[in-house]
Each structure stands twice: as C-alpha cells, then as structure tokens.
Structure 1
Amino acid sequence: MQLLVCVTLVSAFAVYVSGAALDGPKVGLAWANGNNIPLTNFLTPHVGAIHTWSPHCPDGSNSIQCYQMLWGADSGRITDFNNTVKPAGGNKNVILGFNEPNEAGQSNLSPQVACIFWHSIIEPRAKEGYTLVSPATSNAPGGIQWMQQFFQCCSDCTVNAMAVHWFGTSVSSFESWVSQWHVVFNNRDVLVTEYGFQDFNGQQHSADEVVAFYKSVGTWMDQQPWIKKYFPFGFIPSPQSGNPAALMTADGQPTALGLMILNEAY
C-alpha cells in the first residue's frame, strides 16, 4: 500500500462545506437493534436521523436519514461497506467515519493509517454525492490531538462536519468539549454521534440528576445552529430498575427519559 506523507501545517485542514444533508430535526437514534425491535415507537417529528455503527439501515427507517458508517478498517468491514453503500440518494447521503479510532477496544487506528483508508475508501464517496463526517474519537484526553494528526495527513480530504463522542456527568464539561471541536476544526458543523450520562467513578446518581443533565444539554444543543444532530447513547434494551439513564426498556419500549429526548420535551 502506498504510504501517504503527512503535511506539517496544523492549519492545513481538509476541504469542507456545510451540506444540506445534515439539516432537519436534530434528534438521532443510535440504534444497535437491527430489525429485532420496530422503530415505530421511536420516530417522532423531532427525530431526523439514525445510525447503526454500520452501513446497514433497519426496516422502517426510510422516513428519516440513515447515516452509513465505515466502523473500522479490517477487510470484512471494508467489504461490507463497499457492497452495501450505493451512490447517494433517497435517505442515504451521509457517511460517518471510523468509530473511536483512538481506543484499543474500538476501531484502533493511528491517524496516519486512518488517513490512508479515508483516501481509498471514504473520499471517493464525496463524488457520489455523500456528505462526509469525520471519524469520531472518544472524549479521552488525546481525542483532539488524534484528530489534529489525522488532518495533518489528510489535508486534501473532504470532511464536511465533525463527529463527537462524550460521556460523563457534567453539563459544563459536555458543552465545553463539543464547542471545542467546533472552534478548533475551523468552525465546522458538529454531529454528537454518541453522548450519555455516565459516571466513570461509580458514583450513584438519582433519576432527577440524570433528567436534569439531558434537559440541559438537549436545550443547549437545540440552540446551537452548528450542532446538526445529536444521538443519545443508546436506544438499546435495558432494565429500567437500577439504571436511571436507560433510554429503552427491556421489552423494547422508550423509557420516560427516552420519550423526553425523542420529543425534545426539555
């Protein structure tokens, strides 16, 4: 494989324009259920998109945008992506980049290797009419540095918007992190493709605290024109008891918290 030489200018960020494909209702479904759970109870006028951490779109998603993802760079995922993703059209016109490449337990790619695969697999899709969204690093301290190095190697890449992940319990930290990605990367639009209330120290929090967090960040994101979509993590079956942050019940229905987000009832 041909080695790409990184440029040294940090300011030489990739090509981008804001695309109409990212407009519309802001709430997104981070959906890992395939066709096992019907989408019917999760589609409201405030829901505008869905992603499945893959190039596949579940049944019943034709009324909203389906963002197709190249999760990682292993041969099986690349083959699946290439076989599934057709030229843009209908509700499929946005591609998401690699999932948490800065994490060993996720797609686990160096910025330089990610750049090589972006050039060969994702970049050609821009000519097919797709809006291209950056890889999404975790909110580990090195996430922004990973992305800066990616752009140093990918200065000629088309990146229309930034994907951001964040987990924690602080509203101010969430807002600061997401805003930083907008400012650092040339005021690009932002998609928060995963976010959630999670205490990494194991401290217990009340349902009221969880609700207050989602109300605050949801209201704030709705007020920022540069935040195009936000995907709470995640609409995945979970017992209601003992997990005040669950968005879906064990039998596949939205929880009260899930309904609040789906209806933007902030």
Structure 2
Amino acid sequence: MLRLTLLTSAVAIASRTLQVWGAKRGLGWPSDNSLSTRRCAGSRNSTRFFQILIPPYSNPPRSTGSMQDWGQTNTAANDEFPFYAMQWNGGGIQNLASAVASQGVTVVLGFNEPDNAGEANMTPADAATLWKQYIQPLAADGVTLVSPAVTYGGSGLPWMDQFLGNCTACTVDKIAIHWYGGWTGDLEPFVASFQKYDKPIWLTEFGLSWDAGADSYEEFLPLALEYLDGNAYVEKYAFFGAFHSGGAEDMINSDGQLTALGQIYVS
C-alpha cells in the first residue's frame, strides 16, 4: 500500500504520496500525478476540506487540514498548515524527538502497518518497546500520539490488543487503521471492532479490493461515507484514491477532471 501524506497548501511536491485531511474526510493521491493538484473540492464535512493554493484559485479560505509526508521531516515546508510527523518503522527513531522539537510538530503518527510483513513488519512487543523509549516522552510536551496503523484481514485487531497490552502506561490518543475489503458489511464491523478502545479512530486508508470495478466503487462509496460520517468514533478517514492511474478507484480522469467516483466523494 502506498504511503500517504496530508497536503493542504501550494507546496513544492516531493516524490511521495500525498493526502489531505478535512473535518473528517480526506484525500490521497500520488505526488507524481500533477493533474490531481489542480482540482479543488468542497465537502459537507467542512467548509473547504481540500484547498490547493494554485491558479485558478485566488485568496482561498484557510483549510482545516494538515500536512504529513510519512516521515519525521517536513519535505514540503509551508507556513499555512501544521505538519504531522510519522515514525514509519523503527528506522531513525532516535532522531524523532529532535525532529518534532525543531519543527514544532504537535501530532505524531505511529508505525505504518506493523502487522503487515510487506510494510513496517514489527512485533507488538518490539513496537511497544520503541514507543515507550522514543514516542511516549513526546506526550509530556503536549504532542498528540496516534497509534500504529494496523490492517484488515485478521491480524490488525490482535496486533493492536497485544501492542496496548505491552504498553499499558503509554499515551495513545487516537487509533489508526487501514481497510481494503469487499463491502460495507466488512467495513462496518472492522471499524466497530476498534471502538472497544474508546478512542477516536483514524481510518487513514480505505477502499475495495483491487479487482473491484467502477460500478462497484460508485455503489459502495456513498454507503461507506454515510456510515463513516455517522459514526461518532471515526474522527478522520481517507478514501484511496484521488489520482489517475487507469483503475476503477480513480477519482481523477486523465484530463484532470473529477471522475464520477470523485464527484461522489466531494459531494
């Protein structure tokens, strides 16, 4: 799965994947698809959940979003929006505190899919040990700490249970999860299973299985959005994805216009 970032300003786009957060609803798109940055959408969840400060948009209202590049350092620096740092795995974690302090970071996201052998690939015990040593101390400075983002498919919830069991005195302000599945009948119980922690949920990636067709996406997305918008535990979410790749999940056409799916998402 692509690493996502939070983008809400006209910035020099680095060769990473970008994501925008609003009140709840966010966007994710590959940074090498410049067409995606030329569309601005409004949302019923916020006044302007996505605002790119480039022509033809002049003097736009400030967005409620924040920026993140799935690393410790703000590679697309700007003065408009706060930067959220992420500790993707254990690599370079000894530099996290200094990176947070030097940039005035107020939110740190935990490890990316540690239950996935193809991503961060960390045991709950190892992740908890690193959290206690390097991430937990940030709470004393008022930094919001978001849990490692676990996956759908059976491993995520047990991993989170074990992580929190190994980190009983740790500060975990939000619970981050990812979901790629069959339908809302899978999505809803998956999200609900994490409500037992009684913390705000950030669904930082979600979508259908990769072989789903466009008709399926257009039927699924309104149902998913209705559920996520109505679930008080879900504080943030981001559908994958706002890009043009030739796939059924695209929210951008080859000419940079919103697809039918994109229109659904920003309605």
Q: TM-score normalised to the size of structure 1?
A: 0.74
Q: Which of residues 42, 46, 50 in structure 1 aligns to 2:49? A: 46
Q: Which structure 1 residue ranges, 5 or more long, are not aligned?
A: 1-22
Aligned AA (1:191): W
Match of 1:176 among 168, 183, 189: 189
Structure 1 residue aligned with 2:99: 84
Letter in 1 for 2:70: W
- Secondary structure in 1 matching 2:169: coil
Q: Is the 8 A contact 1:26 1:230 kept in 2?
A: yes
RMSD between superposed Cα atoms in Å: 3.0
* CA spacing shift, 1:79–1:42, aligned 2, 3 Å: farther
Matched, 1:246 2:257: no
2:120 to 86, 104, 107: 107
Q: Is the Cα–Cα contact under 8 Å of residues 73 and 117 in structure 1 kept in the other structure?
A: yes
Task: String of CA shifts for 1:67-90, please: whole Å, max 9, x gaps.
Answer: 321111123xx366455323685x
Deviation at 1:237, TM superposition (A): 4.3
Structure 2: which 5+ runs fail to align? 1-20, 43-47, 51-64
CA distance in 1, matches of 2:78, 2:257: 17
For 2:91 and 2:152, the matched residues in 1 are separated by: 23
Match of 1:198 in 2: 209
CA displacement at 1:220 relative to structure 2: 1.3
Instruction: Choose which of 215, 219, 239 in structure 1 pairs with 2:226.
Output: 219
- Aligned counterpart, 1:233: 240
Partner SS state of residue 176, structure 1: helix
Instruction: Please tell me the residue identity of whatever aligns with 1:189.
Output: P
Paired letter, 1:212 = E
1:162-207 CA-to-partner distances (Å, cap 9, x unmatched) read 0011001211110110011112x2x2110001111224xx4x52x2
Contact 1:42 1:254 in 2 (8 A): no
SS of aligned partner of 2:127: helix
State whether residues 165 and 193 of structure 1, in contact with CA within 8 Å, keep that contact through their aligned partners in structure 2: yes
- 1:70 maps to a residue whose letter is Q
Partners of 1:37 and 1:65 lie apart in 2 by 24
Tell me which of the two structures has the higher relative contact order, counting C-alpha pairs closer than 8 angstroms and 6 or more residues apart. 1
Alignment of 1:1-266 (within 5 A): 25-33=23-31, 39=37, 41-42=39-40, 44=42, 45-47=48-50, 48-57=65-74, 59=76, 63-64=80-81, 66-75=83-92, 78=93, 81-82=96-97, 84-86=99-101, 89=104, 92-183=105-196, 185=197, 187-199=198-210, 202=211, 204-205=212-213, 207-239=214-246, 243-249=247-253, 254-261=258-265, 263=266, 265=267
CA distance in 1, matches of 2:35, 2:72: 18
Cα distance change, pair 132–74 in 1 and its aligned pair in 2 (3 A) = same
C-alpha distance after superposition, 1:12-69 (max 9, x if no partner): xxxxxxxxxxx96111233552896774535641343454322344648755554321
Are the aligned partners of 1:29 and 1:49 in contact in 2 as well (CA < 8 Å)? no
d(CA) in 2 for partners of 1:79 and 1:234? 32
How far off is 1:246 after superposition?
1.4
**Percent of residue pairs bearing the same amino acid type:** 31
CA contact (8 A) 2:94 2:134 kept: no
Q: How far off its partner does 1:124 sit? A: 1.6
CA distance in 1, matches of 2:257, 2:75: 17
State how many pairs are aligned.
228
Q: What TM-score results when the alignment is normalised by the length of structure 2?
A: 0.73
Moved more, 97-106 or 246-255: 246-255
Task: Indicate conservation of the 8 Å contact 1:101/1:137, yes or no.
Answer: yes
CA distance 1:216–1:190, shift in 2 (3 Å): same
